[in-house]
Each structure stands twice: as structure tokens, then as C-alpha cells.
């Protein structure tokens, strides 16, 4: 379930409470008259099931609460209440319901190119490069877990769904800019190591290396990327966000970027082209499957103000 804290103008509080009280998915409704100071107003507290969260937020939006007051939504980790248990029907649907407002805000944050995004992606690419040189699957997996690239990938899918092409553009710039920065950094590092005699091109020709799969793009790598895109999108739209770690491990985006940097530094153009193709196929597959998954979720759970919320998150993130 979700906990809502609403700062309502006194003139709208009775209407807000009556609309909330009439919803079967709302419980623990509490009103604190005049408790809010900035912005001034009444504080309304309630708990709602994820299934009705979009409906409740739509009602509050129609009343203009987000303009004159504020709405805070928090996940409830523990709620001991027989009433709450009854209204949620004790089913797994509550975990799977999509709260579009929550998802839109998360995608707005994922669209931004930040120093932390660049740092994590660059460090992941450098670790992957070391793993490739040492033929170490353990380092490769560690680098894949560290990579933050699925955020902007999912933001692109969401932007295509909501037709907020400004979000698509920003997320694309974040993704491309992040990979270019990471690849350039790894390229410069590999170039220095090559000049020092630490590495040479002999490892590129070794066909028995365990990490050779990185530069062999085929139908199976594309299918894996598609499946990962579905799993990643489902994890972001539901309560099962821990699944996202498995998504990172299953797709070779970061290792492919590291391979590009190494082969470019050693002037191994054919291997560089293969790694570039692998990276492109993986990203394309995840964007396509992420978009398709969001369409299915939209048809399953309803749009519930999806277009308006996406536009508002787009405006906030600018």
C-alpha cells in the first residue's frame, strides 16, 4: 500500500475527504485542520492500495490540490491492519499495479545527465575493460551490476509511450553522452597502458577466451536484450525493484563499451565494429521491449492521467 500526505486548501478539504472516503481502496483517513504552514492549509493523511492510487491521484489533480497545496506519496513497508488487509484483498495484484505518477517522476530523474551517472558508468566500463584483459567473467559481471544505463533506456521507452519527445531527447543525450564519456576515458587509459607495454593486441585474436561472447552479436544476444528490457521495465513499474540487478547482469552493454575502448586504442577496427554492433543491438532491443511492455501495462491498468503526468514531469525536469 501507499501512504498519502495531502496539504489541502481549507476550501477543498471537505471535498477531498468525501472523495477519498467514497473510495473502497482508501483507509486510515485522518484530517488535521490548519496543521500545514507552508503552504498553509489542512493536512489530510490516508493509506491507499496501489490498484486505486492512479484514481485517487486523478481526483486530487482534478481538484487542483497539487497547484494550491501538495501531495506526498510514500511506500509503506509495514502496515498492521485487518481493514487494510481486507481492502487489498490479500492478492498479489497490489504489488503489480502501476502507479504512473511514481513511474513518471522516476523516469524524469533517469533522463538527467549527472556526475554520478557519468562516474558509475565510467567506473563500470573501466572495471569491464580490466575484466576483458584478464579474461575474468567475475569482473565483467561486477561491472554489469555497477552500470546505471538502464535508467535512461527505460526513460526513452516511457517518452515514446507518452509522446513526450523532449524526454526521449534528453534521455538519449544522457545515454549517448554517458557512453561516449566512459568509452573515451577507457580509451585514454588503454592507450597509456599500450604505450607502457602493459597490453597488446594478442588477446583480440585469442578465440578461446571466455569473454569473446562480448563481440559476437547474434540473434541470441538480441533476444536476451529484449527479455532483459521486459524484466527491467516490470521491475521499475512494480514493487519488485530488486529484480533490476539481474537485468544488469544479463545484458552486455557496459562490457561492449569497454571492448570498444580497448580495441580502438589498439587499432583493432573489425573488433571495434563488432563491439559497437553488440552495444547498439542490446540498447535497441531493450528500448523496443521496454516500450512494448509499457503499452501492455497501459492497456492492463489504464492510462489514468498518464499523458498529463508525463507532461508535468517533463516540465519539472527541464
Domain edge (last residue) among 77, 97, 117: 97
Q: Are 237 and 304 in contact (CB under 8 A)?
A: no
Q: Same structural domain for residues 142 and 191?
A: yes
For residues 308 and 208, membership in a common domain is answered with yes
Q: Are residues 124 and 207 in the same domain?
A: yes
Residues 159 and 247 in one domain: yes
CA distance 54 to 36: 24
Residues of the chain with pLDDT under 50: 91-92, 305, 307-308, 310-311, 313-318
Query: How many structural domains is the chain composed of?
Result: 2
d(CA 117, CA 174): 9
For residue 194, the enclosing domain spans: 102-317
Gap between the Cα atoms of 67 and 260, Å rounded: 48
pLDDT in tens, 70-116: 999 998 888 888 877 777 655 445 667 788 888 888 888 888 999 99
Task: Please check whether residues 170 and 217 belong to one and the same domain.
Answer: yes
Tens digits of per-residue pLDDT, 168-185? Answer: 999 999 999 999 999 999
Question: 56 Cβ partners below 8 Å, 6+ apart?
Answer: 4, 20, 23, 25, 26, 48
Q: Please return the burial class of 119, using the count of CB atoms within 10 Å of its CB with bins 0-12, 13-18 and 19+.
A: middle
Kindly report the number of other CB atoms within 10 A of residue 206's CB atom.
10
Amino acid at each position: 500500500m501507499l501512504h498519502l500526505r495531502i496539504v489541502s486548501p481549507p476550501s477543498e478539504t471537505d471535498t477531498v475527504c468525501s472523495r477519498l472516503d467514497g473510495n473502497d481502496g482508501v483507509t486510515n483517513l485522518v484530517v488535521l485542520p490548519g496543521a500545514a504552514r507552508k503552504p498553509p492549509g489542512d493536512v489530510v493523511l490516508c493509506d491507499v492500495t496501489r490498484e486505486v492510487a492512479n484514481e485517487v491521484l486523478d481526483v486530487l489533480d482534478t481538484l487542483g490540490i497539487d497547484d494550491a497545496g501538495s501531495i506526498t506519496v510514500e511506500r509503506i513497508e509495514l502496515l498492521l491492519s485487518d481493514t487494510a488487509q481486507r481492502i487489498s484483498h490479500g492478492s498479489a495484484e497490489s504489488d503489480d499495479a502501476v502507479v504512473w505518477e511514481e513511474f513518471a517522476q522516476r523516469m524524469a530523474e533517469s533522463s538527467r545527465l549527472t556526475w554520478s551517472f557519468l562516474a558509475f558508468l565510467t567506473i563500470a566500463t573501466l572495471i569491464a575493460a580490466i575484466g576483458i584483459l584478464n579474461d575474468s567473467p567475475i569482473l565483467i559481471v561486477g561491472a554489469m551490476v555497477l552500470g546505471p544505463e538502464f535508467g535512461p533506456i527505460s526513460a526513452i521507452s516511457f517518452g515514446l509511450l507518452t509522446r513526450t519527445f523532449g524526454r526521449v531527447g534528453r534521455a538519449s543525450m544522457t545515454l549517448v553522452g554517458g557512453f561516449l564519456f566512459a568509452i573515451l576515458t577507457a580509451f585514454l587509459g588503454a592507450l597509456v597502458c599500450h604505450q607502457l607495454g602493459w597490453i597488446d593486441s594478442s588477446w583480440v585474436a585469442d578465440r578461446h577466451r571466455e569473454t569473446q561472447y562480448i563481440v559476437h552479436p547474434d540473434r541470441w544476444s538480441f533476444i536476451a536484450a529484449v527479455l532483459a528490457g521486459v524484466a527491467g521495465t516490470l521491475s521499475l513499474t512494480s514493487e519488485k525493484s530488486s529484480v533490476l540487478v539481474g537485468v544488469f547482469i544479463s545484458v552486455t552493454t557496459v562490457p561492449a563499451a569497454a571492448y570498444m575502448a580497448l580495441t580502438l586504442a589498439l587499432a583493432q577496427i573489425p573488433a571495434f565494429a563488432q563491439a559497437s554492433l553488440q552495444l547498439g543491438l542490446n540498447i535497441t532491443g531493450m528500448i523496443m521491449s521496454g516500450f512494448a511492455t509499457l503499452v501492455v501495462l497501459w492497456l492492463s491498468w489504464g492510462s489514468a492521467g498518464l499523458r498529463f503526468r508525463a507532461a508535468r514531469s517533463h516540465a519539472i525536469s527541464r
